Amino acid sequence: MTDNTTTPPGRDAARPDHDDLTRYQRSYRMSTDQPTRFYLLWQEAMAHALLLEQQAERVYPEQAGLTGLQLAEGARATARFYAFMLAEAPARDEAHFEQKIMVYEAMILDGDEIQRSRTSWMIEAAMHQDARELGISLIKVPVEPGSPGRH
């Protein structure tokens, strides 16, 4: 929104301007996308994070001199955003629900991820609500880090 010091005369500063409306249009389109898109974007960002972490000390001059580790953290933050977007919309079918479970399991099996963010807790809460609405019974089974997930 335009601040009051740059609002043209006669324009109501409380009303959304063109930039606001453009941002809301992008958000609307993003919120109505198929959940699979968010899952694929989450997978891509996580794959990038893992690849960047393999060369953690490499410096990327074209990226403001950030290291592979720093860029990997950025990729993980991007992955968390897509995980949140996947979790935010109610699951309308089992495929969407299963994607939430896979993201959740991947995040909780990464002990460092639990320290970085609370996203996995938000996904878990969404999963439980989705399960109730879809008539699915969830049972929490302890999974050790490094073991395959169960869903």
Q: Which amino acid is at 102?
A: M
Number of neighbours of residue 120 by Cβ within 10 angstroms: 22
Question: What are the residue ranges spanned by the domains of the chain?
Answer: 15-134
| Percent of the chain clearing pLDDT 90 (strictly above) | 64
Query: 26 versus 76: which is more confidently predicted?
Result: 76
pTM for this entry: 0.77
| Measured distance between the N- and C-terminal CA atoms of the chain, rounded to whole angstroms | 44
Nearest one of 107, 106, 104 to 115, comparing CA atoms: 107
> Mind giving me the DSSP string for 94-115?
HHHHHHHHHHHHHHHT-HHHHH
Q: How confident is the model at residue 92 (pLDDT cuts 50, 70, 90)?
A: confident
Q: Is residue 1 predicted with pLDDT exceeding 60?
A: no
- Residue-wise pLDDT for 10-55, tens only, equals 677 899 999 999 999 988 877 666 788 899 999 999 999 999 999 9
Average pLDDT over residues 80-93: 92
pLDDT at 67: 98
